[in-house]
C-alpha cells in the first residue's frame, strides 16, 4: 500500500511548511524518495522544532526556503504552482502560549489565514493537509474522543489551533480550496525536538533515557494517552492528500491507549537501563492538563483506510536507537 500511495506523489510539486521540523522533515524524506519536487519552508525559530540536520542525506534533493509563515509576501509567492501543501508550521508549546498568546495566535491562526488567502487568490486548485491537534478538544467529556466531541481549549494554543483548523475547513467549503485537517495526538519518532520539555514530554523522555537521567512523570502516572509513530502519521497525511474525499473533513489520529507510567516502563526496558519517578504536577502544567485522552479513529479508518502499522514497542525502540546514534545533533 505504502509504495502505491507514495508513487502518486512522483513528479508532484509539494510544499511543506515547518518542513525542517519533526514531522515535516520525515515527510520530506519520504516524498523525496518518492520523486516529488519538495519545497521546505521553515523559519528555524531557535526554540521551535526546525533543525537542518533533519534533512541530512536529502539536502540536494529538496529545496529549502528559510522564511516565516507570518511573512505574507513570501507565502503569497511560495504557494504558486504547488500541487500539495502540507501545512505543518506552528507554535506548539502550550506553556509558551500562556506566556505569549499573541505570538501563538499570529503563527497558528493569522498566518494560516494569509496562507489560505494566498491559495484562494493564486492557487485555488491546490490540496492542503493541515496538521491539527487533539488538544482542541480540551478535557475529554467522553472516551474515546471522536470528531464530534465539542471543542473546548484549555490554553491559548488550543484556541489558536482550533481557529487555524476552522479556517482550513471554511476555505474548503466557501472557496473550494481542497483542505482537510488531521487531529494529531502524541506523535513521536526520529527527528523530534528533544532539547527540553517545552513542546512534548515524550521527546524529553527520549533524551533523558538515552542520557541516563531519571524520567519524571507528573502525577500518579495513570494518565492515559495514545501515541503515533511518525511513519504512521505520514501515511495519514499522504492518504488525506491523495483522496478526493478529504475536502473539508477532519480526522482523528490515534492508537491503543496506554498509561504514561507504562510508557516510561517500556522505555526503561527497551533502553536496557534507566529509571523513572513520579513527581507532583507543577502548577502551570496542572492548570492546562486535560486528564485522560485517547481518540476514536473510526472515521479515518473508514474513509481513508488508515491504520497505524507500527506498534509502540517497535516505534520506541527505533526512536531510542535514532537518538543514540545522532545525539549530538539534537541535544
Phi then psi for residue 40, to 5 deg, are -100, 125
Q: Which of 127, 133, 312, 320 is nearest to 231 (CA)?
A: 312
Look at residue 258 and give its three-state secondary structure.
Answer: strand
The yes or no reply on residue 109 touching a copy of itself (CB under 8 A) is: yes
Beta bridge partners of 215: 276
Q: Are 125 and 118 in contact (CB under 8 A)?
A: no
- Determine which residue in the list 5, 98, 258, 317 makes contact with a copy of itself, applying CB under 8 A: 98
DSSP state of 220: T
Q: Are 254 and 295 in contact (CB under 8 A)?
A: yes
The minimum distance between CB 93 and a copy of itself, in angstroms, equals: 15
The minimum distance between CB 264 and a copy of itself, in angstroms, equals: 28
The total of other beta-carbon atoms located within 10 Å of residue 12's CB is 17
Comparing CB distances to a copy of itself, the nearer of 114 and 208 is: 114
- Determine which residue in the list 167, 188, 205, 229 makes contact with a copy of itself, applying CB under 8 A: 167
The yes or no reply on residue 296 touching a copy of itself (CB under 8 A) is: no
- Determine which residue in the list 154, 224, 262, 268 makes contact with a copy of itself, applying CB under 8 A: 154
Q: Which of 285, 214, 225, 220 is nearest to 259 (CA)?
A: 225
The yes or no reply on residue 1 touching a copy of itself (CB under 8 A) is: no
Comparing CB distances to a copy of itself, the nearer of 177 and 237 is: 177
Look at residue 215 and give its three-state secondary structure.
Answer: strand
Comparing CB distances to a copy of itself, the nearer of 22 and 167 is: 167
- Give the binding site for a copy of itself (CB under 8 A): 98, 101-102, 105-106, 109-110, 113-114, 117, 148, 150-151, 153-156, 159-160, 162-163, 166-167, 170, 173-174, 287-288
Amino acid at each position: 500500500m505504502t509504495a502505491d500511495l507514495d508513487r502518486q506523489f512522483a513528479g508532484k510539486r509539494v510544499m511543506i511548511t515547518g518542513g525542517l521540523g519533526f514531522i515535516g522533515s520525515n515527510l520530506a524524506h519520504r516524498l523525496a524518495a518518492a520523486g516529488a519536487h519538495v519545497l521546505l519552508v521553515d523559519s528555524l525559530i531557535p526554540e521551535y522544532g526546525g533543525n537542518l540536520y533533519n534533512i541530512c542525506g536529502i539536502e540536494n534533493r529538496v529545496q529549502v526556503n528559510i522564511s516565516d509563515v507570518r511573512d505574507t509576501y513570501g507565502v503569497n509567492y511560495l504557494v504558486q504552482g504547488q500541487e500539495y501543501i502540507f501545512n505543518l508550521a506552528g507554535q506548539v508549546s502550550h506553556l509558551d502560549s500562556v506566556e505569549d498568546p499573541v505570538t501563538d495566535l499570529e503563527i497558528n491562526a493569522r498566518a494560516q489565514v494569509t496562507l489560505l488567502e494566498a491559495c484562494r487568490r493564486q492557487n485555488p486548485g491546490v490540496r492542503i493537509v493541515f496538521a491539527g491537534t487533539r488538544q482542541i478538544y480540551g478535557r475529554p467529556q467522553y472516551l474515546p474522543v471522536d470528531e464530534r466531541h465539542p471543542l473546548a481549549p484549555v490554553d491559548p494554543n488550543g484556541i489558536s489551533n482550533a481557529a487555524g483548523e476552522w479556517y482550513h475547513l471554511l476555505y474548503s467549503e466557501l472557496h473550494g480550496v481542497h483542505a482537510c485537517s488531521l487531529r494529531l495526538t502524541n506523535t513521536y519518532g526520529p527527528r523530534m525536538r528533544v532539547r527540553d520539555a517545552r513542546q512534548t514530554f515524550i521527546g524529553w523522555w527520549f533524551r533523558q533515557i538515552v542520557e541516563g537521567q531519571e524520567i519524571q512523570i507528573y502525577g500518579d502516572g495513570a494518565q492515559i494517552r495514545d501515541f503515533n509513530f511518525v511513519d504512521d502519521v505520514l501515511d495519514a497525511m499522504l492518504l488525506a492528500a491523495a483522496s478526493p474525499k478529504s475536502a473539508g473533513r477532519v480526522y482523528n489520529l490515534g492508537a491503543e491507549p496506554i498509561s504514561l507510567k507504562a510508557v516510561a516502563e517500556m522505555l526503561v526496558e527497551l533502553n536496557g537501563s534507566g529509571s523513572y519517578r513520579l513527581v507532583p504536577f507543577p502548577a502551570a502544567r496542572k492548570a492546562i492538563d486535560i486528564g485522560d485522552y485517547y481518540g476514536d479513529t473510526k472515521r479515518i479508518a473508514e474513509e481513508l483506510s488508515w491504520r497505524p502499522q507500527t506498534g509502540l514497542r517497535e516505534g520506541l525502540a527505533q526512536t531510542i536507537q535514532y537518538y543514540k546514534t545522532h545525539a549530538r545533533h539534537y541535544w
